[in-house]
Structure formats: C-alpha cells, structure tokens
Chains A and B, each alone.
Chain A
Amino acid sequence: MAKVKGRPKTGALFRIAAYSSTILSLVIYFFPFYLLVVISLHGNIFAQPPELVPANPDFSGYVAIFTNPAFFEWIMNSFIYTIGISLGTIIMSSFTGYAFSRLDFPGKTQLFWLVLGLMMIPAVASYIPLYVMLAKMKLLNTYWGIIIPPIASPYSAFLMKQSFDAIPKDYEEVAYIDGASRPTILFRVILPIAKPALITLALFQFVWNWNNFAWPLFVATSPRMWNLPLGIWNMVWSYTRDFWTLAAGGVVLMLVPFVMYLIGVEYFLRGIVVTGLKK
C-alpha cells in the first residue's frame, strides 16, 4: 500500500493547490519544452501565426545526430563517464559524510570549512594549473583523467553529511553498543534510512555527469574521448548556430536523465518503508 508521509492535510485547500499548480506547470514548463520539440522538427515558429504543429516535420537534425559515425562512441563514453563518476562520488561521499556527521576528530570543523570553501572558488582560476598537472601526470585525454578528479565532490559530501545529520543518533548507538563496526553501521543502519538522500544524490550525479560537457572538453585533447553532449555541441556550435539540430540534440540528450528522474522520484516517494529500531 503506498504510504504517503508528511502531515495529513485537509482536502479542499490542497486539492485546489494541486490542480492549479499542475495546470500552471503545464504552461510554464511543458510549453517551452514542446516548443523545443517543434524547433527540432523545423517547425516554422516565426510564421504569423506560429506553426505549433509542424506541417512537414523535418527529422534531419535527429538523423544527423544518430547517423554520425562517432555516435556510438559518444554514447559509450557518456555511459562510462556518468556511471564511473557517479558511483565513485556516491561511495566516497557516503563515507566522508558519515565521518563528518557522526564522528568527532581533531580538526573536524576546520576541515569541514576547507571542503566547503573549495566549493566556492570559481574553477576557472585553476584551469591552467590543473591542465598542466594532468598533462604531467599523463592523465590528459584518458578515461582515468576524466573519472577520478571529480569523485572528491565537496557538494556531494556536504549533502550526505546534512542528510545523515537529520537521523537521530539513537539508531546507531544501539548497534555500536552491540559491537557493530562503523562500516557495518553505515551500510546496515544509516544508509537505508537515508535512502531518499542517497537516491537524490544518485540522480543529481547522474544527470550532472551525463549533461556535463565542460569537464570532458577540458580533459580531452582528442574527439575520441567526447561524450554525447560534446559530440552534439560540436555539430551545432560555430560562428553560426544550428538551432534546429541543437534543439534535436537537447531532446535526445534529455531522454535518459528524464526517465531516470521520473523513476527515481517515484521510487523514493512510494517505495520507502522506514523501519524503526526497537527501542
């Protein structure tokens, strides 16, 4: 039975809110997206009145993307980077977040603010030094060079820490007294409760890494390492702008993350049953 949490609400007010916000969201969210699809099909949106249903849908943008000889390479790279970086980040930030949330150690506050501070510095400042470093470490234009550096993500560690903070300490005290080791506690007790946060992090990571083209562009010095967003961008971006193929690219790119998001949100809205520890 789908368990819905949160404070129970009286019917009428929330029903009105539910309907009106859904309609509003259709207008300001779906419509721009729909327009994007129309543009990708070369619908003449500048005619008076705009051609909102393309009379002669032109799929050439999509064809150009899918029949590009490098398309399969781009997809492969996209999957490798996305899964590699996301998995690595999730694991690492779970450990790190747990340590900051639950454990006390000398230098904890300072270290925390150092990590946070790193988030604040514009990455552009370290462009040349980082490039030179990667070149000297022979990591440029390699899969490891793309996957390893982003794994230590302050943002993700921060998110996990805050999420763990929200879990009352009693839960693990019991387990600790019973003699469980820290990793066991982390995996058996904390993570299951923090599933919503974990899923959220996974989703954010996945989409961020899937759509990211700036980082692979930085590390790659050869088109063989390009992922899907880069491949599409290269096709459409120049002095001229092929908006139509760009729109098609936008649609193609968003499909996988969109489905993942829908499923993920469903999963943690419906599928979580939190078991309380026996007190």
Chain B
Amino acid sequence: MVEKGKRRRRLEARDAYLMILPFLVLMSVFSLFPIFQGISLSFYRVGLPEDKYIGLKNYERALVDDVLALTLKNTVFYGITLMLGIVLCILPALLVNSVAMGNRPRLRWVFQAAILLPIVISWVTLGSAWNWIFLIGGGALAQTGRPGAISISPLAQASTALPTVGLLTVWSTLGYNTILFLAGLRGIPKVMYEAAQIDGASNWQTFRHVTLPLLKPMLTFMVVTGFIGAFQIFDPVATLTNGGPGWYSASIMFYTVRQAWYALDYGYAAVLGLVVVAIVFTLSVIQFRLIYKRYV
C-alpha cells in the first residue's frame, strides 16, 4: 500500500469535501434543519395560533405510555421477521444467479417477474387486495362448515393480525432483497473467482473466502436498512389493518404518524421519533460492528 504523505492527505480531504459538498448543502437545508426544528417541537403542544410550551410533559407521557410499549414490541417483531426475510433471500438470489436458472431463462423470467410484483404495486392497492383475498378464502372455508363468532380473517383477530402483517411485509420485500443480493453477487469481479480457481479452491471454500467477504458490504447495508425499515413500517399496517384490531398490529411509525393526524400532536410525535432514533442508531452501530467489523 502506498503510504500517504501529508500533502496527499490534504488533497484527499479537499477532493472529498468537494465531492460531498452539494449533498451536504441539500441535506442540511432540507433535512437537518427541518428535523431539528421538528425535534424541538417535542417541548411543545403544537397548536394555533401558537405552539404552547410544555417542557418535559411529552417525555413524561412517553415513559408511562403503554401503547408505546406495545407498538415497540410489535416493531421489534416486525424487525426480526424482516431480518429472517433478508437472510432467506440469499437463496433466491443464488438460485437466480445459478446455472440451473441460467440455462432455463423462461423459468427464471417467471420467478423474477413474480417476486418483483409487490415492489411495483403500491400498498394502497395491495392492502385492499389482501383483505379481499382473506375474505374470499374465509368464504371458501366457511362453505366447508366452519362457523364462529370471531372472524377467521387473520387480519381481524388480535392474535393473528401482527404475524399476518409481518408475513405479508416479508412477502412484499422478497424481490427487493433478492435484487440487492444479486447486485452484491454480481458486483464481485470475475477475476476473484478466477484467482480462487487457479489456487484450487473448492466451491465451499470459494463461497466462504471469496463470495461471503465481498458480500459483507451489501449484507451490512441490507441488515442495517432492513432494521431501520422495520421502524419505518407504515404502509402495510395502515392499509391492511389500520393498526388494528386496537393497536395490536400497529408499528411505532404508525403510532407516531397517528399522533400528528387528527390532533396535530407533532410534539409527541417528535418524542416518539427520538425514541426510534435512539433505538435504531444503537442497533445500527452494533450491526456494523458485528458484520462489518468496523464503523465505516
């Protein structure tokens, strides 16, 4: 490796700042600044004509809020489910990438097209569709003589609503994660495999020492954004169950948005936002360390 002299370091820093300057400027103006203002609203009750300063009342409320506890629990559940979904997706990615599919392009096209469908259809449509699918399914089952006071639609029961929404979220992100894995796999320069072959490595050794390490950046990306994503889950919850029954399938993001909805309680929403950031940030740092073994 070339040793970096002082001059080179300075040149490098200058290049770097130049390259990220536009990003920084836009980010500061349109993200940082409004977000800081938004967070400062956590000390207020938002209203007209003026916001009312209430000090730490929103924070006190968060401490004893059992709905917050419930939605956090739900969100952790969603997070774990999504993680499992991500890990699962290495399989379809390898599959699509493999010779078996490569030699049967039509098979691959069908498979690819299928898993891509939920990515391109918005949840507004999917939510209603799945409600009706369960309705038809329920109707079909009812024909077989299974009555009951409680609906057998999994979205209508407290005990099954959460897992169902979780499952459908994983269902919808399968294609998306597969593509990311594929991009990661494809991004490995061919020479690396050739070198391994020349060195006489077996398939498993190649996977372990060539593929996996070079997949780590992508894997880190997927795990970190996957978990961040779990804390951002909103659309499936809103369109499938509207958080219900009660709050039993509500994610924390859903709860947060709902604070702002009819009562304009952006102050409390800001506190909830801080809770989310605290948790996700900590988790991300840990994830980075575990998978990536470094911080950047």
Residue positions of A touching B, CB distance < 8 A: 2-9, 11, 14-15, 17-19, 21-22, 25-26, 28-30, 32-33, 35-36, 39, 45-46, 48-50, 92-93, 95-96, 98-100, 103-106, 108-109, 111-113, 115-122, 124-130, 133, 148-149, 151-152, 154-155, 157-159, 162-163, 165-168, 173, 177, 182, 193-194, 196-197, 199-200, 203-204, 207, 211, 213, 229, 233, 237, 241, 243, 246-247, 249-250, 253-254, 257-258, 261-262, 265, 268-269, 272, 274, 276
Contact = CB atoms under 8 A, between A and B. Distances in A.
Contacts of B224: 116, 158
A130 B35 CA distance: 8
Given A148-B30, A165-B217, A246-B128, A229 B193 contact: no
Nearest to B272: A122
Contacts of A103: 12-13, 15-16, 19
B111 A197 contact: no
Given A105-B17, A272-B186, A130 B34 contact: yes
Contact of B38 (A129, A157, A233): A129
B20 A96 contact: yes
5 contacts: A3-B190, A6-B185, A116-B284, A182-B19, A247-B129
A213 B124 CA distance: 11
A106 B214 CA distance: 27
Contact of B110 (A26, A151, A207): A26
Given A109-B296, A125-B269, 5 more contacts: A5-B190, A48-B143, A112-B296, A113-B285, A207-B120
B35 A118 contact: yes
A138 to B, nearest CB: 14
Most buried by B among A7, A15, A152, A265: A7
Contacts of A233: 124
Most buried by B among A28, A151, A269: A269
Contact of A17 (B95, B121, B231, B253): B95
B250 interface: no
Interface of B: 2, 4, 9, 12-13, 15-17, 19-20, 22-24, 26-27, 30-35, 37-39, 41, 46, 91-92, 94-102, 104, 107, 109-122, 124-126, 128-130, 132-133, 135-136, 139-140, 143, 171, 176, 179-180, 182-193, 203, 206-207, 211, 214-218, 220-221, 224-225, 228, 231-232, 253, 256-257, 260, 266, 269-270, 272-273, 276-277, 280-281, 284-285, 295-296
Most buried by B among A28, A106, A254: A254
A250 B30 contact: no
Contacts of B277: 117, 120-121
A22 to B, nearest CB: 5
Contact of A122 (B119, B221, B269): B269
Given A125-B35, A126-B37, A200 B179 contact: yes
| Interface pairs A-B: 9 shortest CB-CB | A250-B125, A129-B37, A25-B114, A152-B26, A14-B100, A125-B38, A276-B191, A29-B114, A126-B34
A15 B100 contact: yes
Contacts of B2: 173, 177
Nearest to B111: A22
Contact of B183 (A109, A177, A196, A276): A196
Given A7-B207, A196-B182, A211-B122, A120 B19 contact: no
A103 B225 CA distance: 23
B101 A18 contact: yes
A30 B15 contact: no
A148 B26 contact: yes
B50 to A, nearest CB: 13
A92 B190 contact: no
A124 B256 contact: yes
Nearest to B122: A211
Contacts of B189: 167-168, 193, 274, 276
A221 B229 CA distance: 29
Contacts of A173: 2
B117 A258 contact: yes
Contacts of A154: 27, 31
Contacts of B260: 124, 127
A122 to B, nearest CB: 5
B183 A104 contact: no
Given A117-B281, A249-B125, A122 B273 contact: yes
Contacts of A3: 190
B26 A250 contact: no
A20 to B, nearest CB: 10
B23 A152 contact: yes
A166 B184 contact: yes
Nearest to A168: B189
A246 B217 CA distance: 39
Nearest to B202: A7
B276 A106 contact: no
Contacts of A157: 23
A265 B182 contact: yes
Contacts of B37: 126, 129
B296 A100 contact: yes
A120 B183 contact: no
